[in-house]
Amino acid sequence: MFNQTEDALTWVQKQGCGELAEKMGIEFTEFTIDRAVARMPVDGNTQPAMLMHGGAYVVLGESLGSMAANLHAGIGKLAVGIEINASHNRSATSGFVTGVCTPIHLGRTLTTHEIVVSDDQGRRCSTIRITNIIKDMPVAR
């Protein structure tokens, strides 16, 4: 996965974090093992009432948490989500939301991250927790 001769933020910006995250407009702005930050536009990610869709918060959280877990896992390993939950505190209606992902536990086989998503005014919109299991990278066939 991550080529350690390259800066982690540059790597994740080039690599991306999947088609869904790309369609939702997720952009990484900081990426280390200790802290990963990404933002996502509200526009295009709303429910019919023009409020940020709760599932969009979860996509942002899972994108951040899974990528951070893979950075921790290292070369030859793959981190995949096994559990995620979210508590939504408020709905963003315009601008961007920003997710800040920090590790709660970084183990050899499991990681747990907390992602706090805030609106442009710094108000907490959602709190997400994700647990990933670390496995050996599948062999290409």
Given the residues 6, 62, 83, 114, the one annotated as active site: 62
Distances (CA, A) of 141 to 63, 135, 136: 26, 17, 15
d(CA 70, CA 75): 9
Per the document, the length of the chain is: 141
| Contact present, 90 and 105 (Cβ < 8 Å) | no
CA torsion angle 5 134 59 7 (round to 10):
-10
Please confirm, yes or no, whether 62 is among the known catalytic residues: yes
Cβ neighbours of residue 37 closer than 8 Å, sequence gap 6 or more: 28, 29, 30, 31, 64, 98, 99, 100, 101
* Run of H or E including 133: strand 124-136
- Show which residues are catalytic: 62
